[in-house]
Amino acid sequence: MTATGRSPARVAVVTGASRGLGAAVAQFLARQGYALIVNARDPTRLSETVAEIERSGASVFAVPGDVTDARTQSALEHVAHQLGRVDLLFNNASEPGPSPLPRLSELRSEDFEHIFRVNVLAPLAITQRLLPLLRTAGGRVVNISSDAALGGYPGWGGYGASKAALDLLSLTLANELKGSGISVVSVDPGDMRTSMHQAAFPGEDISDRPLPEITLPFWAWLLNRDPGEVSGHRFRAQSDRWEISES
């Protein structure tokens, strides 16, 4: 229930919402009338996002914590059940790995495992927990991918492998959930001027990259498409145009 005691018309869960793409999308969704459940590891930064959303008049509920932690996942599930529905799950929290990014031949196994826990296992676990509420609402799952999933870029092997796995996970879920009312897509948002991107290039000037707000027209387009039409597809948010190819 919201502060008014009424069930919200639409609810979105956004992970990694304290800054960058997650914060920009959470604020965009608030302006579209969604009630927000937002998550991030840093409670101070998350509170800043919450304050910004509240200024728009939207209802917002903060769940600080690491998405790989079962307690954080349980807290997200608990708040979502209190609101009674999930219309959009935006799995945005991501881990690129050590900074500067090591070559795959030098990537420690423990770092590789951590990347996969954040980028693959956590999105799946949160999706599984929220499936009943997504089914009730005919909701959407958006998993944030990367061009690194396709590029084979030196230094991006661990991150790219995790995002390639997330792409396949998204397609498989879409196929398995066909007919359930739930749609699943993966989206490459493109290069952006974010702290995560800066960490991947320490000491380099990334001021030529656009801010995450450049992706907002894409999210407006996606959320206005029929969920069944887009489910199972992979999109690039910074494309000149967005199309749904024939499967």
**Which one of the listed residues 61, 159, 218, 219 is annotated catalytic?**
159
Show the domains of the chain with their CATH numbers: 11-236 (3.40.50.720)
Instruction: Give pLDDT tens digits for 195-237.
Output: 665 556 666 665 776 788 899 999 999 999 999 999 999 999 9
- Residue 34 annotated among the catalytic residues of the structure: no
Amino acid 203: pLDDT:
64
DSSP track, the chain: --TTSS--S-EEEESS-SSHHHHHHHHHHHHTT-EEEEEES-HHHHHHHHHHHHHTT--EEEEES-TTSHHHHHHHHHHHHHHT--SEEEE------SSSPPPGGG--HHHHHHHHIIIIIHHHHHHHHHHHHHHHHT-EEEEE--THHHH--TT-HHHHHHHHHHHHHHHHHHHHTTTTT-EEEEEE------HHHHHHSTT---TTSPPGGGGHHHHHHHHTS-HHHHTT-EEETTSSS------
- Tell me, what's the pLDDT at 206? 57
Predicted structure pTM score: 0.92
Would you say residue 247 has pLDDT above 50?
Answer: no
pLDDT at 245 over 70: no
What's the pLDDT score for residue 145? 97
